[in-house]
Amino acid sequence: MLFSADEEITQLEKEKDFFVHEVEVISQQQKELETMVEHLEKSLGLSDYAEGEPVGIRPNEFTTNADLKRQDIYRLQVTVDAQLKQADDDINDLCEQMTELQAWKEDGSKSEDSQAAIMDQIRQILKKQLDSLNWVDQQSEELSTRVKKLTTELVSLSK
């Protein structure tokens, strides 16, 4: 059971490392996207959504269907950005939990040694108790034999 738990923890550590790497790649891509979007926003004179201003293209007489599609795509990008940030937070939480689990595993191996020592003490105590019970049983049989012998002697004397 401990061996399978150790294998599972090792597998989870590998997966954690993979996720950390993927999060780093996604974070780098996100930074690059944010830089490009900020550059586009500045060139188009759009507001910064991080400041709480509504996302969109300023309406004017030259707004086309393509502009509206771009606006929809931009809103979708904002939504995806928020979801990626949430996923990043979730993965970081998982990494912290894995670190705690790994620390628990290391503490567990230390406690296994102490558990082995405790089990050895329990084994020694039980062995001594068993030896004592065997001695008591042996003494009881000897006493029983002596009582029977005395009883037969007394019965024979009384006749």
Q: What is the tens place of the pLDDT at every residue in 61-108?
A: 677 777 778 888 888 888 888 888 888 888 888 888 888 877 777 776
CA-nearest of 94, 96, 92, 108 to 5 is 108
Q: Has residue 16 got a pLDDT over 60? A: yes
* % of the chain beyond a pLDDT of 70: 79
Q: Which range, of 9-18, 42-51, 148-157, averages the lowest pLDDT? A: 42-51
**pTM across the whole model:** 0.37
Copy the structure tokens of residue 136: 């008591």
Domain-by-domain residue ranges, the chain?
Answer: 2-113
Compute the distance between CA of residue 70 and CA of residue 40 in angstroms, rounded to an integer.
12
Write down the residue that tokens 């082995």 correspond to. 116
